[in-house]
Amino acid sequence: MNKKWTLIFALLFALIAFAEGSASYYQVSPEKCVGCRKCVIHCPVKAISMEEGKAVIDPSKCISCGVCARICPANAIDPVMAKPDTQTAPDDCLETFSDSLQTPFFIPERCISCASCAKVCPEIAIEMIDGKPVIDPEKCTLCGTCVKICPVGALFFPEEKDS
């Protein structure tokens, strides 16, 4: 299977996992890992590395596609049901938060141009322009679907800061 199709299937599995409320990320059981490197080779976002002959998944890079768990011959990779941390803007990006929020906040530097947000938006309010999402505030209902699917936290709702 070529790299393009692997990524398409990975994103599809991530969307299915999101819809089912599945894993936030995956982790390797070192005692089960046989060090075959199949997960490292097939991970579409290169979230898996080898340490001391065992696979290790970086949860900050994992998009929960499940490709690694499906391909592991030793069944050493399991989903982790963890609630992701609330994404917050860097201090220099966000001064205040008010009730006038029209769309989720977006940090272009974090975006990996996967277009998952545009694909899952129920209002079709997100258009990809030059590889980055542009949200139409007239269509956006602030449902949060795009925020939940973003694998790198590029889209988020800020927490109100205590005064």
* Mean pLDDT (10-residue bins), the chain, 163 residues: 60 55 73 95 89 91 81 89 46 43 82 88 92 91 88 75 38
Look at residue 26 in the predicted model and tell me its pLDDT.
Answer: 83
Beta strands 132-135 and 54-57 are unpaired
**pLDDT on residue 133:** 92
Please report, for residues 63, 80, 81, 106, the alpha-carbon distance to residue 22 in angstroms, rounded to integers and kept in the order given: 12, 9, 7, 24
pTM score over 0.85? no
Specify the fold of 3-80.
Alpha-Beta Plaits (3.30.70)
Q: Where are the alpha helices (DSSP H) in 21-150?
A: 38-42, 67-71, 116-120, 145-149
The pLDDT assigned to 88 comes to 44
Report residue 56 as tokens. Answer: 């290790």
Q: Where in the chain is the domain with CATH 3.30.70.20?
A: 3-80, 85-163
Tell me the CA end-to-end span of the chain in Å, nearest whole number: 54
Q: Is it true that domain 85-163 has CATH number 3.40.50.2000?
A: no
* Predicted pLDDT of residue 148: 87
Tokens standing for residue 147 = 């925020």
Rg (CA), the chain: 17
